Amino acid sequence: MTTPRLAFAAPDIVTLPIRGSGARFPIRRIFCVGRNYHAHAIEMGRPVDKSTTRPFYFLKDASATVESGATIPYPPGTQDYQYEMELVVAIGAHGFRLTEDDAERMVFGYCCGLDMTRRDLQMLARETGRPWDLGKDFEQSAVFTGIVPKGRPGVLDGGEIRLQVNGRTMQRSSLDKLIWSIPELLADLSGFYHLQPGDLIMTGTPEGVGPVWPGDHLSGHIDAVGDIELHIGAPT
C-alpha cells in the first residue's frame, strides 16, 4: 500500500510508558464510566439502583491525554474545574460481546487517571439534555500514569484509591466499592463496541470531588497501581 501524501502533518500517536518495558502503550480510545461509586452518585444528586439501571459511558479523545507530573493550564470556559481520581483499565486484546469470564484475558494492565472536568459545563449539559463533551472531552482533560502490567490475579477488585489536593485528603475509597466491577464493565461495554488493544477505560470516581485552582497540586494513589501527580497552572 502506498503511503498517502498528506496535506498537513497527521496527529501524533498518543502513548503511555509501560512499567518494566521499553515499549509504550498506544492509546486508541478513552471510555469513561459515569457514577460507579454509590457515594459519588449521591453527591452528584443521582443515586444508582443497580437492579434497574445499566452503566453509562462517555468518551474522551486520545489527544486529551497528559502524562502524570505535568503542569497544565487552568482550562478556558469554566469557573468550576474539578478533579476525579480513577482506576484506569488498559485493554490488550480484541473483545466483543464478552462474558465476565473473559475479563482476565482482556486486561493488559492498569494506571491511575484523573478525569478532569469542567463541572459547570457538565451540569449545564445534564440539565438541558445536551451532550457532555464540553464538560468532559477537552484539551488536557485525561491525565494518566504509565501502565502497570497486570499481575496475578489479573482483575483488580480491591485496594485503596485516594487523592490529595495540596496535601489534604479529598477522596478516599476502595476499589471494592465500584458499583460495576471490571468484569461487569467489560461485558457491558463490549455489547456496544468492539474493544481493541489500546482502549482505556476510566472506571469512575469515588466521592469527594471538588474544584481546583491555579497553583494547586494534586497527588493520587491506588494500591498496586501507583501514584499520579498534577499541577494546575495559570489560565492560558
Binding footprint of Mn ion on the chain (CB under 5 A)? 84, 115, 205
Phi, psi of 172, deg, nearest 5: -155, 120
Which candidate, 138, 121, 114, 120, places its Cα nearest to that of 217? 114
Strand ranges of the sheet holding 81-83, from the earlier edge strand across to the other edge? 117-118, 81-83, 210-211
Q: Which of 40, 43, 31, 45 lies closest to 179, judged by CA?
A: 40
Phi, psi of 166 (to 5 degrees): 50, 40
Bridge pairing between strands 65-67 and 142-144:
parallel
- For Mn ion, the closer CB: 84 or 102: 84
Residue 216, burial from CB neighbour count under 10 angstroms (0-12, 13-18, 19+)? middle
**At its nearest, how many Å lie between Mn ion and the CB of residue 84?**
4
Distance CA 200, CA 164 (A): 24
Q: In the complex, what is the shortest distance from the CB of residue 32 to Mn ion, in angstroms, rounded to a whole number? A: 5
Nearer to Mn ion, 32 or 156 (CB): 32
**CB 98 to Mn ion: min, Å:** 22
Q: How far is the CB of 5 from Mn ion (least distance, A)?
A: 40
Output 18 or 85, the one with its CB closest to Mn ion: 85
Closest distance of CB 82 from Mn ion, Å: 10
Q: Pick the closer one to Mn ion by CB: 18 or 136.
A: 136
Q: Please identify the residue of the shown chain whose CB is closest to the bound Mn ion.
A: 115
**Between 18 and 75, CB nearer to Mn ion:** 75
